Amino acid sequence: MRIGLDVMGGDFAPDAIIEGAVDSLQHLPADDTLVLVGDENAILRKLSEMKVEPSLFEIVPTTQVIEMGDHPAKAFSQKKDSSIAVGYVMLKSNNLDGFCSAGNTGAMLVGASYTVNVIPGVLRPALAVVLPRIDNRQSVILDVGLNPDCKPDVLLQYGILGNIFAKYVLEEENPTIGLLNIGEEETKGNSTVKTAYELMKEYPGFNFVGNVEGNSLFQKTMPDVVVCDGFVGNTILKLGESFHHIYQQRGLKDSYFDMLDFENFGGTPIVGINANVVIGHGISKRKAIMNMVIRTREVAHANLAQKIKEAI
């Protein structure tokens, strides 16, 4: 496996990114290569400061940076030697098995759509996030922000994409698929979700368990895959952030609530494109970056993109 990491992206780049890269090494198999894409001098300086041998990595030097505030499409097309643009070119030429960045999310999405492209048959790609449940297992929820307007057939397909994700990335043999709704009954919800329910119920290719409500999220009763539109999914993710923030502010200590820190989530894989790509939170520090690299390796190891291509 060759995993690429954008060293220039994120509020704390490049230092925190390089620190996270170093920490991630011990979680990667010895024959994997972690490819650091970015300013070579900055990388070498930081590694030397950390007394880490640069030969543990492959370094791909770039000269430009897409800043967090840059216009995504413009920056992506104009800054051809930026770490994000170079990462995508490497993905496209199969020179990387996976790529991740905590940088400009818009530019990462532009690269996803215009360089590696959406998998034919995928209606709309999604952002997925893996959440820890109280029973020490994991569930994936999608979409968490890419498509705030979702048609019923898109929600059905998110079930299909989520099923593949849970099977191959989370290694669940027969994942349960739930539809986020505001009641358990089939007749609940808005018109989109009601139609999606019908489609998902009839779909023979996954183990649909019906509606799931907000009070099941994070609980033992949470299905392995939760399908929702990007508006609701994004709100769920950010509300989790708010609760975790309050937990921290109040000085509470608990191993489960500690896990609910976004730094543990490993970023959000883009599901439905021709490459294994993970986007990190802009405010990612050392630990979040380490987990993002690990997640990217998981997704690349499962070869999520290929599995989806075969299934769609």
Q: Which residues bind its own copies (CB under 8 A)?
A: 134, 145, 148-149, 180, 182, 188-191, 193, 213-219, 229-232, 234-243, 245-247, 249-250, 252, 254, 256-257
Element at 289 (helix H, strand E): helix 286-301
Closer of 121 and 183 to its own copies (Cβ) = 183
Q: Which has the closest alpha carbon to 164: 194, 121, 196, 221? A: 121
Nearest approach in angstroms of CB 18 to its own copies is 27
Q: On the CB side of 141, how many CA atoms lie within 13 Å of its CA? A: 26
User: CA 3 to CA 20: how far, in whole Å?
Assistant: 14
Closer of 56 and 134 to its own copies (Cβ) = 134
Nearest approach in angstroms of CB 218 to its own copies is 5
User: What does the DSSP 8-state code read for residue 305?
Assistant: H
Instruction: Name the one residue in this structure whose structure tokens are 């996976």.
Output: 98
User: What does the DSSP 8-state code read for residue 209?
Assistant: E
Closer of 169 and 228 to its own copies (Cβ) = 228
Closer of 99 and 262 to its own copies (Cβ) = 262
Closer of 43 and 212 to its own copies (Cβ) = 212
Closer of 31 and 254 to its own copies (Cβ) = 254
Contacts of 103 (CB under 8 A, 6+ apart): 6, 8, 9, 10, 13, 66, 68, 83, 84, 282
Closer of 149 and 198 to its own copies (Cβ) = 149
Closer of 80 and 220 to its own copies (Cβ) = 220
Nearest approach in angstroms of CB 231 to its own copies is 5
Contacts of 280 (CB under 8 A, 6+ apart): 9, 10, 100, 101, 102, 267, 268, 288, 289, 292
Nearest approach in angstroms of CB 254 to its own copies is 5
The span from the first CA to the last CA of the chain, in angstroms, equals 24
Nearest approach in angstroms of CB 67 to its own copies is 17
Nearest approach in angstroms of CB 293 to its own copies is 24
Q: Is 248 helix (H, G, I), strand (E, B) or coil?
A: helix
Nearest approach in angstroms of CB 35 to its own copies is 31
Peptide bond into 14 cis (omega under 30): yes
User: CA 136 to CA 45: how far, in whole Å?
Assistant: 39
Nearest approach in angstroms of CB 12 to its own copies is 19
Q: Is 210 helix (H, G, I), strand (E, B) or coil?
A: strand
